[in-house]
Amino acid sequence: MDTAMNMNVVRTQSNDIVTMLKSLANQDRLIILSHLLQEELNVSEIEQKTKIVQPTLSQQLMILRKNGVVTTRRAGKQIFYSIKDQRFQTILNKVSQFYQ
C-alpha cells in the first residue's frame, strides 16, 4: 500500500467515514451517483438513465440528501440533483480505477 491510514483521522472522523461508506453501500445509490458524476440531472432523467423505478429512486435520493451527499436545485417545477460532497467524486473515480 502506498499510503498508511492516519489512525487519528479514522478515530476522530469515524462517524463521517461510516456514513460516507454506507451511502455507497447500495447498488441503486452507487448507480445514481455514477450518473451524477457526469452531470446534474432531474428526477426523470435519473429514472431514465438508471432504470430505477420512481418509488425506489425517491427513497434512495432522500437517503443521499439526508447524508449530505447530493444537493438540489429547483428550476420551475423540476428539481435537479448534483453531487454536493466532492469527496464522493474522488471515491467513485478511485473505485472505477480499481475495477478497470
Answer yes or no: are the C-beta atoms of 67 and 19 closer than 8 Å: yes
The pTM is what?
Answer: 0.84
pLDDT band at 2 (very low <50, low <70, confident <90, very high): very low
For the chain, domains (ranges, CATH) are 7-98 (1.10.10.10)
DSSP readout, 48-81?
HHH---HHHHHHHHHHHHHTTSEEEEEETTEEEE
pLDDT for 45-100, tens place per residue?
999 999 999 999 999 999 999 999 999 999 999 999 999 988 889 998 898 888 88
- What's the Cα-to-Cα distance from 49 to each of 46, 57, 69, rounded to whole Å? 5, 11, 19
- What's the Cα-to-Cα distance from 100 to each of 95, 96, 97, rounded to whole Å? 9, 6, 5
